[in-house]
Amino acid sequence: MQRIDYRAVFREVYQPPEREAVVRVSVPPRRCLVLDGEGPLDAPAFAQAVSAVRTLARALRRRVKAGPMALDFRVMPPEVEFRDSSWTVMILQPPVVDADLMTVEQRTLAPRPLLAHVALRVLPESLALQTLHTRPLHQADRALERLQAYADSHGYRLADEYVAVDLGDARQPAFSQERMLIRRDIHS
């Protein structure tokens, strides 16, 4: 059985920098389970979306590990992209997970709220700035200000949206909001 730890494969993207440091990273194209939503982070809809995407990611891991591909991989941490009042919950998937496999697993897990709305998207490659954030997500302003100050001092223009990568306990169903990477893409 082949084992892959995508946190090690994409170390640059998932390794937190030193506290308060800002680093420039090259984020590769990646295949992710995604679920779009809107509203505040403390609303039930957000917690349900994170739970739905995590549930499907874990089920896909079990299916891929037990199937003919015999690939064992770690379920990656959830990432959330924020745009104004909307958000997208995402979890990286290995290349063997395709739309057909995802659909089979969604039907197997049904009926669960939101599961049918989870999609598989290939996200484009990007250059980004990221920093470690160790406070609740609603206090991300300091981290975003650090990213903006770094961008200004290096002549970068940043995207309006940003991504928070949960580095907390992966066994928890909710987004931990205790230790995360905050990432913003650099516009060329």
Q: How far is Cα 108 from Cα 182, in angstroms, rounded to an integer?
A: 34
* Residue 162, domain CATH: 3.20.80.10
pLDDT in tens, 14-62: 988 888 899 999 999 999 999 999 998 888 999 899 999 999 999 999 9
Angle of helix 99-109 relative to helix 44-66, nearest 10 degrees? 110
The beta-carbon contacts of 104-110 under 8 Å, at least 24 apart in sequence, are: 104/63, 105/56, 105/59, 105/60, 105/63, 106/56, 108/59, 109/55, 109/56, 109/59
pLDDT in tens, 105-158: 999 987 877 999 999 999 999 999 999 998 877 788 999 999 999 999 999 999
Which residue range is the domain that position 79 belongs to?
2-187
Count the domains in the chain: 1
pLDDT in tens, 58-111: 999 999 999 888 889 999 999 999 998 899 999 999 999 999 999 999 999 878
